[in-house]
Amino acid sequence: MKMEKLKQKMKINNLPEVFLKAQPVLQALEDAGFEAYFVGGCVRDLLLDRHIHDVDIATSAYPEEVKKTFAKSIDTGIQHGTVTVLYGGEAYEITTFRTESGYQDFRRPDKVTFVQNLEEDLKRRDFTINTLAMNLSGEIVDLFDGLGDLQKKVIKAVGVAEDRFHEDALRMMRAVRFMSQLNFALEEKTEAAIADNHVLLSKISVERIREELVKLALGPNSQEAFDKFIDTGLSGECPGLAGQEEKLRVFTQLKGRITDEAVFWALLALIINLPVNKVTSFMRTWKNSNAMGQEAKAIVTAFDQVTMGQVSNWDLFVFGQNALTKALEAAALLGQPVSSQSLLDRYAALPIKDKGELAVDGGWLIKKGVKPSPALGDLLDRALKGVVLGQVANDEESLAAFLDL
């Protein structure tokens, strides 16, 4: 990407495809007599050469006027001034310049007020790096020195930090999440304001906090971000983490990067010394899906076994490939001495990896004269164990002999 700095104005040449595709949308709004800009995360990520997942547009047009300008639109958040426009097979969120006032509950504005200019809109946004806007010709509008802070690599609240966090307390989590994802530092006053206001996080839904925490954990700079998450008191406002500050510091000393969400949850449970039988309920307090809860529990179970040393082939079979590899990943991150390769080799050498691969089933046993009964289940278990442990070949004849049928 080419950037030119002209009369204090930065212009991006050779815009990536996502923006080129969206340009006609901006053009249509301008042709209809309105102002329109690309705003927020997409401009930030463009300048950082990061992947751009969606392109957001801010405009002076009112929602009704936006709808009139395009053939296809959906009223996604019309009460907040957002209309989703479908154009060229893509969906664009177009939001009228707005300001939000009266945040009684620290999480959503009591009312949205439309404003006439871009500056009014940008100044109620969270961080300077998220206030950048770009016009149709690729010129960057930088009213709050977002470019300077991108260069300095700092997360800095727009204006008075405390006000921004009172408007939306989730922004405190966003601050540490961006630190991790972008490998940025936290500006001093912004950090102090989080430390002063961390209790407001309790007003935010667990789901929204969870989403930010997972992004933080999976980011490349998670170690420093975890440090701030703990230092500022944010961690103490999270489900099950109050008073666990010292243990949570382990996250600042991991031996590498967490690359999987379930591994993160398993690590969290392990680090706060949660007994295996508490993992599912802990996962529920974080409003995780049952599937994620079960996966985390399976990883913790496998971890406990592999780090204790005694792992039979039957154990390996029960863990399964997913829980085993992720438990080994967790062990490596925690610097636990585990002979991962030999466990993986042993797993790979198991005669079967799944119950479904067993050459016989209940129907076969019944044909062999076994009555449907609990004993039938026991026989199947014996067959499965025999095959997994290599005591019998996985074919009908060998299994019939093995089970004395």
* Alpha carbon distance 302, 306 (integer Å): 6
Query: Is 168 flagged in the annotation as binding?
Result: yes
Provide, rounded to whole angstroms, the least separation between the CB of residue 85 and Mg ion.
16
* Alpha carbon distance 226, 234 (integer Å): 10
Q: Decide: 403 and 387 in contact? Cβ < 8 Å.
A: no
Binding mask 151-170 for ligand CTP (x = CB under 6 A): -----------------x-x
Residue 142, interface with ligand CTP (CB under 6 A)? no
Q: Decide: 299 and 316 in contact? Cβ < 8 Å.
A: no
Nearer to ligand CTP (CB atom), residue 171 or residue 297? 171
Residue 190, interface with ligand CTP (CB under 6 A)? no
Residue 219, interface with ligand CTP (CB under 6 A)? no
Q: Decide: 310 and 346 in contact? Cβ < 8 Å.
A: no
Query: Is 164 flagged in the annotation as binding?
Result: no
User: Which of 163, 185, 166 shows the shortest CA–CA distance to 175?
Assistant: 185
Q: Which does 176 bind (CB under 5 to 8 A by kind): Mg ion, ligand CTP, none?
A: none
Q: Decide: 160 and 126 in contact? Cβ < 8 Å.
A: no
Provide, rounded to whole angstroms, the least separation between the CB of residue 56 and ligand CTP.
6
Residue 130, interface with ligand CTP (CB under 6 A)? yes
With CB under 6 A, what is the number of residues at the site for ligand CTP?
Answer: 10
Q: Which residue's CB comes closest to Mg ion?
A: 41
**Torsions phi, psi of 134, nearest 5?**
-140, 135
Query: Is 50 flagged in the annotation as binding?
Result: no
Query: Is 171 flagged in the annotation as binding?
Result: yes
Provide, rounded to whole angstroms, the least separation between the CB of residue 342 and ligand CTP.
41
Instruction: Select from 16, 41, 239, 351 the one that contacts Mg ion (CB under 5 A).
Output: 41
Which helix (H) or strand (E) segment is 82 a member of?
strand 82-87
Residue 239, interface with Mg ion (CB under 5 A)? no
Nearer to ligand CTP (CB atom), residue 15 or residue 155? 155
3-state secondary structure of 366: helix
3-state secondary structure of 3: strand
DSSP output for 7-46 = TTEEEEES--HHHHHHHHHHHHHHHTT--EEEETHHHHHH
Return the residues of window 28-87 that contact ligand CTP according to CB under 6 A: 40-41, 56
Q: What is the DSSP letter of 203?
A: G
Query: Is 125 flagged in the annotation as binding?
Result: yes
Residue 98, interface with ligand CTP (CB under 6 A)? no
User: Which of 39, 67, 68, 73 shows the shortest CA–CA distance to 55?
Assistant: 39
Binding range to ligand CTP, per CB under 6 A, among 13-21, 104-112, 125-133, 188-196: 125-133
Q: Give the CA-trace dihedral at 197, 199, 201, 203, to 10 degrees.
A: -120
Nearer to ligand CTP (CB atom), residue 41 or residue 77? 41
Q: Token pair of 34, please? A: 């309105």
Binding residues: 41, 44, 54, 56, 125, 168, 171, 174, 177
Residues that bind Mg ion in the complex, under the rule CB under 5 A: 41
Which residues of this protein are in contact with ligand CTP, per CB under 6 A? 40-41, 56, 125-126, 130, 168, 170-171, 174
